[in-house]
């Protein structure tokens, strides 16, 4: 009986571990990319890895992501976009509008940049705040796998 319990605990641990190179936090696994993509490329790269471009729904999650990215000096794409309707920010993976939690940089989101190019995709700044950016910019990105969905195999 004791050996049976040990085996069950072992397989539960293996089944919920994050893949190599991913960081676990609060029921999810996160991959902080080492390459840069435009927003669409980042979205697709996450899908290829059977993950999603990260959605941020709480200050706890945002603080964790900020801690992981702040020393890199790199902005990271998140799943937020208003490409469908200007000013209506939507998490494009779940197709839900941004909820109660938002962490925009002061005076953001704006409509265009200094070159009058539309800014329809969001990045997580190294400050931990969000900014809208031109979707064709090359940025790093964060993919997320939610462990509770049973996608993780260790």
CATH number at residue 48: 3.10.100.10
Q: The tokens 């197709």 sit on which residue? A: 95
In a domain, residue 87? The reply is: yes
High-pLDDT (> 70) share of the chain, %: 84
- Domain containing 141 equals 27-148
Encode pLDDT of 101-148 as tens digits.
Answer: 999 999 999 876 777 789 999 999 999 999 999 999 999 999 999 886
Mean pLDDT of 47-60: 97
Whole-prediction pTM value? 0.83
CB atoms within 10 A of CB 150: 9
Cβ(131)–Cβ(109) below 8 Å: yes
In a domain, residue 131? The reply is: yes
In a domain, residue 22? The reply is: no
Cβ(134)–Cβ(119) below 8 Å: yes
Domain count, the chain: 1
In a domain, residue 73? The reply is: yes
In a domain, residue 19? The reply is: no
Instruction: Look at residues 139, 138, 78 and name the one whose alpha carbon lies nearest to residue 109.
Output: 78
In a domain, residue 14? The reply is: no
- At 144 the three-state DSSP class reads strand
Specify the pLDDT at position 109: 93
Mean pLDDT of 29-53: 98
In a domain, residue 38? The reply is: yes
In a domain, residue 20? The reply is: no
Instruction: Look at residues 40, 42, 39, 76 and name the one whose alpha carbon lies nearest to residue 56.
Output: 76
């Amino acid at each position: 009986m004791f050996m049976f319990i040990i085996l069950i605990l072992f397989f539960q641990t293996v089944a919920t571990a994050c893949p190599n190179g991913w960081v676990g936090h609060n029921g999810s696994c996160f991959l902080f990319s080492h390459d840069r993509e435009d927003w669409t490329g980042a979205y697709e790269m996450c899908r290829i890895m059977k993950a999603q471009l990260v959605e941020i729904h709480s200050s706890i999650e945002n603080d964790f992501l900020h801690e992981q990215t702040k020393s890199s000096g790199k902005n990271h794409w998140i799943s937020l976009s208003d490409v469908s309707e200007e000013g209506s920010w939507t998490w494009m993976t779940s197709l839900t509008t941004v909820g109660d939690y938002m962490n925009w940089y002061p005076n953001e989101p704006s409509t265009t940049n200094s070159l009058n190019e539309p800014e329809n995709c969001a990045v997580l700044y190294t400050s931990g705040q969000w900014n809208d950016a031109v979707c064709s910019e090359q940025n790093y990105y964060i993919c997320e796998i939610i462990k509770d969905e049973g996608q993780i195999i260790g």
